[in-house]
Every structure is written in structure tokens, then in C-alpha cells.
């Protein structure tokens, strides 16, 4: 794991349990210290080594001198009329990402970012307009959950985590897996594997690798049922077309009992919302254990798309439902603070110059 770049001390939030065991063994201590430390950090909320009373005084002194427990800092908080909260989280070097908490009567869902910006350039996503800077470290990913739960306190509990914030999680594979391990570790947050979801645009080799090392729920940003259209909406499809993607989905579903894949499908007026599009989607998903989540498009400045109207979305849902596919329409949350799906932008020092390319594409389409 990469230690945090913000300090010369080792940030212990950068390690999952196995990483911490290796850390303690390397310094000549016992591996069970990892479990003790995890409980202090994540279950007791203690970041002062002097308060970790079941650690020896010598160990506490060593940790104070050489280590730290440092989560990224929440610097801006916005609260929507529906109770959704969006936090701008400072990641250093002038970069910020956005993290969103969605409260519901029976659960609280945190939407976590995995990268500063995103390099995949999906044309309907506001995050893509910002370009890409870098992958987040483990401490910066798990730190969003750590900082959010501290901010919420006893008032609200985070019960679900979705890796659906800024970035493509599977392009930051090792750090994302380590962070999800911490989310599910019984000595950390103890979340069920069904309550941790990773969303991908279809990085097929990483999907195949993921089911071998980490058992979490999978969501796939699909948005089109033909390669021609998906090549345009989700450009990574040009590298991993639908035939490869669907095979990876089938393999992932088979790797766990009662596992299905959630397919995310943003509704774009006149683009992917016709009766024929629904038929094509039904055919595409016919051999994959599926659930479809229809997402009303959330507009952003310079967008070239419009959202399908309500009647069209309902008809699309009914066609899928009548074909035996469990289909829901995602309720838009946090729209008044730009916290809805596809609206997260943060503050990105774009090293990819992606935002300039996307602006050129938009001008070409408009002209």
C-alpha cells in the first residue's frame, strides 16, 4: 500500500488488516497488534496512541514517533432539502473530491470517491469534464468513511457504502480493495459484503481479478445495449466491448451464491430510451442474473444531453419488468446541491487535459 503523501510519518489508515500485520512483523512485534489497532481506530474512534491502553508503553512511544492516523479533511459541507449531505474533502496538492451521504429511513448510504477526477470520459458525466489527476491512497478512500462517520456522530449511522463517487474504482484496484477490506472487516466497520458495492464502467481484466480477491456487490455502468452507442457514451467500451463485458459479468455472478449484477442505465432523451433500446437491453441481459437501475439524467453546464421524460422512463421500466428483469427507477437525491449521480466534480488539477478534449467534442456536436 502507498503511505499518505501528506506526511513523512506512516499513515496507519493506509493499511488493511493484512497490511498492518506485515507492518508489525517487520518492526519485530506480534501480528495480533493489527487487530488491536484496528479496533481502536475504527470501532473506538481513537487517534491518540496514548489512549490505546492495551498496547505497551514502548510500542505507543514508537507509534507516536513514526506513525500517524490521518484522514482527509472535510472543508465544505452542503445539506440538501431532502437531507442528503455533500462534503468537499481536501486531498492535498490543491485537489478535492466529493463524498455524498444519503439518509433513508432504514439505512444510510455513503458514496465514496476513488480517484481525483476520472480518465474515462463518459460523455454524460459531469465528473469526466474535470479530467484526471491521480489515484487516491487507501487512507484517502477509507478516510472518507472515517471522516463522514465522525461528522455524523451518533446522529446517523453509515450502513452502506457505494464506490460510485469520482473516478473508476477498478483503475485504482489495490487501494480500493484494501479500503473495501477495511469496510467489511469485523474489527473495523463490519459491513456486510452485500452492503458494499463497487461500480465500474467495464474494466474487464480487473472485474475478472476482483472476484478472486474480494467479495462485494457489483454494479456496471452500462447505459447502452449496442457497441456502437456504448462506444460513444462509455468510451472504454472500445477496448472492452459488450461481449467481453457480459462474459465478465456472468463469471462474477457465478463466483458467489445468489449474486446478481446491477446494471446502471442513465436515461437520455432520444439517445437510448426507445422501445427498440429496451428490447436490445432485454436481449443483452438474457443470460446474466440482473437488476437494472434506471437513472434519470442529471444535467450539468455544457451538457449535450437531456433527460428522458417521465412517461418514457416508466414505459422503459415496464418493458424490462414484463420481460422478467427486476427494474427500479433511481430516486434523484441531493439534486439541489449537485450531489446526484454524475454531478460530482470536486476540484481537480487535470493532468490528462481531458476537460479540453471534452469541450472540443461538445463544441463539435453543437456546431
pLDDT at 258: 65
- What value does the mean pLDDT take over residues 63-84? 91
Residue 69 to residue 49: CA distance in whole angstroms:
9
Specify if 92 maps to a domain.
yes
pLDDT of residue 351: 53
Q: What is the pLDDT of residue 323?
A: 97
Element (H, E) at 57: helix 57-66
The verdict on residue 121 lying in a domain is yes
Q: What is the mean pLDDT of residues 273-297?
A: 96
Q: 67, 68, 118, 341: which is the annotated catalytic residue?
A: 341
Active site residue 98: yes
Query: Are 315 and 214 in a shared domain?
Result: yes
Is 195 found in the same domain as 46?
A: no
CATH number at residue 52: 1.10.150.530
Inside any domain, residue 4: no
Asked if 185 and 16 count as a contact pair (C-beta separation under 8 A), the reply is yes
168 is catalytic: no
Whether residue 58 is predicted with pLDDT greater than 80 in this model: the reply is: yes
CA distances from 244 to 247, 284, 290 (A): 5, 12, 16
Show the DSSP H helices in 285-367 as ranges: 310-322, 354-366
What pLDDT was estimated at residue 128? 65
68, 83, 109 — which closes off a domain? Answer: 68
Please report the pLDDT score of residue 105 as a whole number: 86
State whether residue 128 is helix, strand or coil.
helix
Confidence class of residue 346 from pLDDT cuts 50, 70 and 90? Answer: very low
Domain count, the chain: 2
Evaluate whether residue 284 is within a structural domain: yes
Same-domain status, 41 and 112: no
Round to whole Å and give the CA distance between 214 and 63. Answer: 30
User: Are residue 135 and residue 219 in the same domain, yes or no?
Assistant: yes
Residues 194 and 230 in one domain: yes
Give the three-class secondary structure for 23.
helix
Same domain, 177 and 202: yes
Please state, rounded to an integer, the average pLDDT across all residues of the chain. Answer: 87
In a domain, 23, yes or no: yes
Predicted local confidence at residue 359, as pLDDT: 46
Average pLDDT over residues 39-61: 95
Note down the domain range covering 46. 10-68
Integer Cα distance of 331 and 197 in angstroms: 18
Selected catalytic residue, list 68, 98, 122, 140: 98
Q: What is the pLDDT of residue 366?
A: 37
Which cell numbers in the block locate residue 122? 463518459
Phi, psi of 42 (to 5 degrees): -95, -30
Residues in the chain: 367
| pLDDT tens sequence across 78-134 | 888 888 999 999 887 778 888 999 998 889 999 999 998 888 878 888 776 777 888
308 and 209 in one domain?
A: yes
In terms of domains, do 58 and 92 share one? no
Amino acid at each position: 500500500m502507498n503511505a499518505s503523501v501528506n506526511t513523512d510519518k506512516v499513515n496507519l489508515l493506509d493499511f488493511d488488516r493484512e497490511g498492518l500485520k506485515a507492518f508489525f512483523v517487520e518492526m519485530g512485534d506480534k501480528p495480533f497488534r493489527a487487530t488491536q489497532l484496528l479496533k481502536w481506530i475504527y470501532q473506538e474512534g481513537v487517534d491518540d496512541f496514548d489512549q490505546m491502553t492495551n498496547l505497551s508503553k514502548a510500542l505507543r512511544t514508537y507509534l507516536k514517533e513514526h506513525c500517524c492516523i490521518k484522514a482527509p479533511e472535510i472543508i465544505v459541507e452542503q445539506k440538501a432539502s431532502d437531507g442528503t449531505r455533500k462534503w468537499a474533502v481536501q486531498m492535498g496538492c490543491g485537489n478535492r473530491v466529493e463524498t455524498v451521504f444519503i439518509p433513508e429511513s432504514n439505512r444510510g448510504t455513503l458514496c465514496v470517491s476513488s480517484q481525483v477526477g476520472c480518465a474515462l470520459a463518459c460523455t454524460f458525466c459531469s465528473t469526466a469534464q474535470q479530467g484526471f489527476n491521480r489515484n487516491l491512497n487507501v487512507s484517502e478512500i477509507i478516510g472518507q468513511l472515517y471522516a463522514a462517520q465522525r461528522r455524523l456522530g451518533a446522529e446517523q449511522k453509515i450502513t452502506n457504502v457505494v464506490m460510485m463517487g469520482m473516478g473508476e474504482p477498478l483503475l485504482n484496484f489495490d487501494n480500493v480493495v484494501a479500503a473495501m477490506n477495511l469496510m467489511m472487516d469485523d474489527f473495523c466497520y463490519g459491513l456486510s459484503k452485500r452492503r458494499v458495492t463497487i461500480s465500474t464502467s467495464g474494466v474487464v481484466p480487473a472485474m475478472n481479478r476482483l472476484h478472486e480477491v474480494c467479495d462485494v456487490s457489483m454494479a456496471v455502468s452500462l447505459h447502452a445495449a449496442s457497441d456502437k452507442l456504448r462506444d460513444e457514451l462509455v468510451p472504454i467500451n472500445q477496448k472492452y466491448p459488450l461481449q467481453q463485458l457480459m462474459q465478465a459479468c456472468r463469471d462474477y455472478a457465478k463466483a458467489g451464491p445468489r449474486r446478481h449484477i446491477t446494471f446502471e442505465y442513465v436515461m437520455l432523451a432520444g439517445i437510448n430510451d426507445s422501445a427498440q433500446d429496451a428490447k436490445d437491453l432485454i436481449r443483452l441481459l438474457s443470460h446474466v442474473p440482473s437488476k437494472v437501475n434506471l437513472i434519470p439524467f442529471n444535467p450539468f453546464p455544457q451538457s449535450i444531453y437531456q433527460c428522458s421524460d417521465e412517461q418514457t422512463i416508466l414505459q422503459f421500466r415496464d418493458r424490462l419488468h414484463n420481460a422478467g428483469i427486476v427494474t427500479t427507477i433511481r430516486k434523484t437525491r441531493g439534486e439541489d446541491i449537485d450531489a446526484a449521480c454524475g454531478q460530482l466534480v470536486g476540484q481537480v488539477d487535470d493532468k490528462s487535459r481531458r476537460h479540453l478534449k471534452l469541450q472540443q467534442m461538445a463544441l463539435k456536436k453543437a456546431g
